[in-house]
Amino acid sequence: MAAVLMYIFKPLGEGFFIIADLAVASFSFLAFLSGLSAFRFHGHKSMQGRALLFLSLGVLFWFLGESTWAVYEIVLGIEAPTASFADLMWLLGYPFFAAGLYFEWKITRIGKTKSGKIVLLLASAAAASVLGIMLTAIDTGMSPLEKYVAISYVIGDTALLIGSTAIIISFIGGKLTRPWIIITASIALSSIADIAYSFLGSEYNTGNMIDLLWDLYYLLLAYGFLCQKWSVQKEAEKFGKVRKDGNQRRRKADFQ
């Protein structure tokens, strides 16, 4: 709500882009720290720990992208840079998100009904991705490098959106899946924000209301990471209590 009010009233006027850039960079760093905290609780040996590790690394690269974008705009005075070092950081994050979603997928258990829905989803999304790539490729107003970067985003965002939606469908109805649904839904939200940004193109300026989607994505992701850690901690405490009570009852029975 604070972010929404900030975008409505836009403090600093024309200099609001400074606040907007610093806000999204701060939110992305918060998401990285939250993911790192959740990963450290699990470790790299568990499937959930591996998923959290790769997702956190993906967020780290996106934080570097947000920070670099802020440097371009605030320090160097380059407004809305295209095909820049910031894009390289963002694109490097996609393989890590893909790996994180892969390990998430291995956690799920899907039935035949859900499998059919997922196959239909994959086919529809693949067709949309091909259409997006074709439209980007024929855009005469972009340089070859800009087209390459734009197509890379189309492929990356479509892949994350497909994977996220499929995983959400697979998680529905499972035990202790709410945090994972929040995490995955936030990743899907990021892809939707990127797709919306692609429609704006050169008309985009930092401080546009679309920025709220990225702010929400990072905040929701940070919450999802922490929620996942807290839910597992709670279950572990329950298990420890039950195990302790069981040992006490066995010792009492042996004594009697």
The pLDDT of residue 165 is above 90: no
Higher pLDDT, 198 or 130: 198
Q: What is the pLDDT of residues 183-220, one digit of tens each?
A: 999 988 888 888 788 777 667 888 889 899 999 999 99
User: What is residue 75's predicted lDDT score, i.e. its pLDDT?
Assistant: 95
Q: What is the pLDDT of residues 49-67, one digit of tens each?
A: 999 999 999 999 999 999 9
Structural domains in the chain?
Answer: 2-242 (1.20.1070)
Structure tokens at 191: 């892809």
**Residue 55, Cα to own-chain centre: how many angstroms?**
7
Report the percentage of the chain scoring pLDDT > 90: 39
| Prediction pTM value | 0.83
Q: What is the pLDDT of residues 68-119, one digit of tens each?
A: 999 999 999 998 888 899 999 999 999 999 999 989 888 876 544 455 555 5
Higher pLDDT, 183 or 176: 183
DSSP symbols for the chain: -HHHHHHHH-TTGGGHHHHHHHHHHHHHHHHHHHHHHHHHHH-SSSHHHHHHHHHHHHHHHHHHHHHHHHIIIIIS---S-SSSHHHHHHHHHHHHHHHHHHHHHHH----HHHHHHHHHHHHHHHHHHHHHHHHHHT-TTS-HHHHHHHHHHHHHHHHHHHHHHHHHHHHTT-TT-HHHHHHHHHHHHHHHHHHHHHHHGGG--TT-TTHHHHHHHHHHHHHHHHHHHHHHHHHHHHHHHHHHHHHHHHHHHHH-
User: What is residue 111's predicted lDDT score, i.e. its pLDDT?
Assistant: 46
The pLDDT of residue 129 is above 50: yes
User: What is residue 104's predicted lDDT score, i.e. its pLDDT?
Assistant: 87
